[in-house]
Structure 1
């Protein structure tokens, strides 16, 4: 099933590489121009990272649904979601090395583990715990921002931080909507989160290409 899903995502992301305006409402013409100028290696990196961040959105939503409903697949879905964090870490190792890739995976795993605590607190209505873990969640976003901007001076710290913050806000909207059984709002939040993560993925790709032009 995972192999089939990956194939579907590759086809979907290949379409997005041809029509990038669908994923960047803020600047479709600029994104389309940048995409057309990519070398084959750069285009492949963009496609690979888009698949990984699409999976991040997909499996996060699957986990939210499963955890709130108390489904039997909750732990299995969580394991698959955590694997996605390792995959994203592995994707940067060719550029930043083994240790850096492992560090990114560790921070992203923490991102997911804290998210589970935020979700549980929201589901139970425990406001003190929700605030505690939500603060930890945003601190983790700061740590991810610091890591990426330290590794790559091409990244604008304020831009990267805001991207992570927006991701957390959209996931929170999705959780709140599903708890309140407002499924239309949940779907809308997921759609926004997916588009946002694709935009963030492209920003990361562009930063890597600028930092390592000889590799592309």
Structure 2
């Protein structure tokens, strides 16, 4: 899991660098890698906990990636209003994602959460 998360962050950095350079081909390439990495994270997580539905988790990760990409685009355009709105939307989404993961852990280990 650690290597998947490290890769996740490194790919995000590559996307940002390519976007700053205006290299749309590289942005597209790295985005494909990012979604592949998200699929690997979801596969790992859903196999670790039967309470984490793979499709639900996939949708959550994809939404997060799309919102993060939109935020980068807004920021690079200097559209601060859109940047803030997208960041707020992504934060709310990540809170819900955290709740989903937490609920799965509690269901998997109910005796630990009495």
When the two structures are superposed, what TM-score results if normalisation uses the length of structure 1?
A: 0.51
SS at match of 1:153: coil
Within 5 Å, give how 1:191-206 maps onto structure 2.
191-206=88-103
**Cα distance in 2 for residues equivalent to 1:109 and 1:200:** 19
Structure 1: segments with no counterpart, 5+ residues: 1-103
Which structure 2 residues correspond to residues 144-183 of structure 1 after superposition, within 5 A? 144-183=41-80
Number of positions where the alignment pairs a residue of Structure 1 with one of Structure 2: 113
For 1:117 and 1:184, locate their aligned partners in 2 and report how far apart those are by CA, in whole Å. 25
Where does structure 1 differ by over 6 angstroms across 4 or more consecutive aligned residues? none
Correspondence for 1:62:
none
From 108, 111, 128, the counterpart of 2:5: 108
Provide the residue aligned with 1:126 in structure 2.
23
Kindly provide the CA deviation profile for residues 35-63 of structure 1, in whole angstroms up to 9, marking residues without a partner as x: xxxxxxxxxxxxxxxxxxxxxxxxxxxxx
1-structure distance, mates of 2:60, 2:82 = 21
Q: Distance in 1 between matches of 2:2 and 2:84?
A: 27
1:30-109 equivalent positions in 2, closer than 5 A: 104-109=1-6
Give the whole-Å Cα distance in 1 for the aligned partners of 2:96 and 2:48.
20
TM-score by length of 2: 0.96
Give the structure 2 partner of residue 47 of structure 1: none
1:105 and 1:187 mapped to 2: Cα distance?
A: 29
| CA-CA distance at 1:105 after TM superposition | 2.4
> In the alignment, which residue of structure 2 is the partner of 1:139?
36
**RMSD, aligned CA:** 0.7
